[in-house]
Amino acid sequence: MKNITQLHRAATTGLLICSVLFVALILSGGCASEPSPPAASKAPPLPAGVTLHQDKDINGVWLAPEFNFKGYDTVYVADPMFAAVERTNEVAMRAMAMKALSDQMVEHIRKTEMFPVVTTQTNELKPDARKLILENTIIEYEKGGGGARFWAGLYGAGQPVIKVRGRILDGDKLMCVYEMRRSGESGGARVFGGYKNDEDIQRNDIRDLASDFADFIKRTAAK
Asked whether residue 14 is assigned to any structural domain, the reply reads no
Split at pLDDT 50, 70, 90, the class of 35 is: low
CB atoms within 10 A of CB 30: 11
Phi, psi of 38 (to 5 degrees): -55, -40
Q: Is the pLDDT of residue 15 over 90?
A: no
Asked whether residue 76 is assigned to any structural domain, the reply reads yes
pLDDT at 32: 53
Q: Is the pLDDT of residue 190 over 70?
A: no
Asked whether residue 190 is assigned to any structural domain, the reply reads yes
Q: Is the pLDDT of residue 7 over 60?
A: no
**Domains: count for the chain:** 1
What's the pLDDT tens digit per position in 53-80? 999 999 999 999 999 999 999 999 999 9
CA–CA separation, 185 and 120 (whole Å): 26
What is the span of the domain harbouring residue 85? 32-222
pLDDT at 20: 36
Provide, rounded to the nearest whole percent, the portion of the chain with pLDDT above 70. Answer: 70
pLDDT at 19: 37
Split at pLDDT 50, 70, 90, the class of 202 is: very high
For the segment 203-208, the average pLDDT, to the nearest whole number, is 95
CA–CA separation, 98 and 218 (whole Å): 24
Asked whether residue 212 is assigned to any structural domain, the reply reads yes
What integer best gives the mean pLDDT of the chain? 80
pLDDT at 26: 36
Between the alpha carbon of residue 24 and those of residues 14, 29, 82, 160, the distances in Å are 15, 8, 31, 18
Asked whether residue 125 is assigned to any structural domain, the reply reads yes
For the segment 105-121, the average pLDDT, to the nearest whole number, is 98
Which alpha helices (H) appear in 112-174, and where do they start and end? 146-152
Between the alpha carbon of residue 162 and those of residues 94, 100, 169, 184, the distances in Å are 10, 12, 23, 10
The pTM of this model reads 0.78
pLDDT at 33: 58
pLDDT at 158: 74
* DSSP SS3 for 74: strand
Asked whether residue 188 is assigned to any structural domain, the reply reads yes
CA–CA separation, 149 and 31 (whole Å): 10
What's the pLDDT tens digit per position in 146-165? 555 544 444 455 789 999 99
CATH number at residue 210: 3.40.50
Q: Is the pLDDT of residue 30 over 80?
A: no
Asked whether residue 64 is assigned to any structural domain, the reply reads yes
Q: How would DSSP label each residue in 162-191?
A: EEEEEEEEETTEEEEEEEEEESS-SHHHHH
Strands of the chain (E only): list them.
53-55, 58-63, 74-77, 81-82, 117-119, 131-142, 161-170, 173-182
Give the DSSP H or E segment for 212: helix 198-222
Q: Is the pLDDT of residue 1 over 50?
A: no
The one-letter amino acid at 76 = Y
Asked whether residue 124 is assigned to any structural domain, the reply reads yes
